[in-house]
Amino acid sequence: MTGVAVVGAAETTELGKIPHLSQMQLHADAALNAMADAGLTAKDIDGIATAGERPTDLAYYLGITPTWVDGTSVGGCSFMLHVRHAVAAIASGQCTTVLITHGESGRSGVGRSGFPRAPASLAGQFEVPFGPMGPPTMFTLPVLRYMKDYGMTHEQLAMVAVVQREWASMNPRASFQEEITVDDVLNSKMIAYPFHLLECCLVTDGGGALILTKADRAADFPQPPVHILGTGESVETPMISQMDDLTSSRAFKVAGSFAMRDAGISHAEVDHLMVYDAFAHLPIYGLEDLGFCKKGEAADFIWEQNTAPGGCLPMNTNGGGLSYMHSGMYGMYALQESVRQIRGTAPAQVKDANVSLCLGVGGMFGASGCIVFGKEPK
């Protein structure tokens, strides 16, 4: 255990299409909701972490005078890294109460800063000239290799989206709730072979925020604490072409194994799993790199409904980036779902969810952060 707990957690009031709010206000809306959840105001916050916007801008906008600041920005899992850094900062006395925010006008593009790749960067020189057009044509690049090496079929890849839609059908805030079949997925528009539309994440607007403090203060807050049992982080490469192994994420392995060791838990103790799913192959890589499945077996594991409602390892229970929402930096929503499951307040609540593991990805297999949450401090 880390001695630190989540005492406030919330998403933006709305999710989906929010053209009437700027990206900065999405951060603020989520932050205000999280402060209300914790019974705090900006005056109680002395640590701030964010990505997508600068922590300076956000602290000023919200009226926070921090003694600790973290602007780590490694893509969609930045918030996992913020949680990890906040745990260390709180434990060492650099601050007492940390606010972590995310907001992204991913769909409406209101007040959004872009992510240009400079022509002189390594990716700008050795990837961009060959015509990749964003994540659907880059994050997906390793998958044919995985399919050939491990015999995964197109149907199995499609099943990832089908199972996650099952979860989304139980979630009134999910963008897509209507159940789908493998055929529906395979008949959806081809985006970048072998990926169909329904195997790619949504593009939506939204935000979320977390508030962390020392677990021994948790009794002072209205919500039951969600203990942070262990954390891990790593980075690999800014270029998908340069992954060590096209069938595995080194950052997943490093971050995941560190977090589990840090938490002192075994795989059998994990009741609930979140694996950042920007595309349908990510849960397959995540299950294997975390060690829940042997290499080459995760697609069968999902096909056999082990991660579906009623299965032995409920995964991506909000519907995931494929069906719930995906603003661009989805990691915050995965963390929010882990917190809801441990609190017992999730729309598709898993019975006896005492330990939840949340694995994030950043860039395109560029970075990873992993957080293990628990109902008890352990």
Partner 1 sequence: MDKPTRSLPQPTPETQHFWEGTQAEQLLLQRCTQCTHTYFPPRPFCPSCSSRSVEVYAASGRATLASYVINQRPHPAFDGPYAIALVDLEEGPRMMTNIVECAQTPEALQLDMPLEVRFEQVSEDIKLPLFAPAKIAPAKIAPAGESK
Q: Which residues bind partner 1 (CB under 8 A)?
A: 118-120, 122, 124-133, 136-138, 140-145, 148, 189-195, 239-242, 246
Tokens of 259: 């977090």
Question: Out of 276, 285, 330, 333, which one is annotated catalytic?
Answer: 276
Which CB sits closer to partner 1, 81 or 143? Answer: 143
State the Cα angle at 277 between 272 and 280, rounded to 5°.
115
Which CB sits closer to partner 1, 140 or 318? Answer: 140
How, if at all, do strands 367-374 and 355-362 pair?
antiparallel
Q: How far is the CB of 42 from partner 1 (least distance, A)?
A: 42
CA 66/CA 41 separation, integer angstroms = 13
Question: Out of 60, 150, 193, 324, which one is annotated catalytic?
Answer: 324
Identify whether 276 is a catalytic site residue. Answer: yes
Q: Which residues contact 194 (CB under 8 A, 6 or more apart)?
A: 140, 143, 144, 147, 154, 157
User: In 3D, which of 346, 336, 274 has the Cα closest to residue 33?
Assistant: 336
Q: For the beta carbon of residue 134, count every other beta carbon within 10 angstroms.
A: 10
Which CB sits closer to partner 1, 101 or 237? Answer: 237
Which CB sits closer to partner 1, 120 or 219? Answer: 120
Identify whether 193 is a catalytic site residue. Answer: no
Q: How far is the CB of 287 from partner 1 (least distance, A)?
A: 20
Q: How far is the CB of 327 from partner 1 (least distance, A)?
A: 21
Q: How far is the CB of 115 from partner 1 (least distance, A)?
A: 14
Q: How far is the CB of 368 from partner 1 (least distance, A)?
A: 20
CA 173/CA 162 separation, integer angstroms = 18
Tell me the DSSP string of 50-110. Answer: ESSS-HHHHHHHHT---SEEE----STTHHHHHHHHHHHHHHTTS-S-EEEEEEEETTT-T
Which CB sits closer to partner 1, 33 or 237? Answer: 237
Q: Cα separations (Å) of 202 from 50, 115, 220, 273? A: 22, 18, 38, 20
* 3-state SS, residue 348: coil
Residues with a catalytic annotation lie at: 276, 324
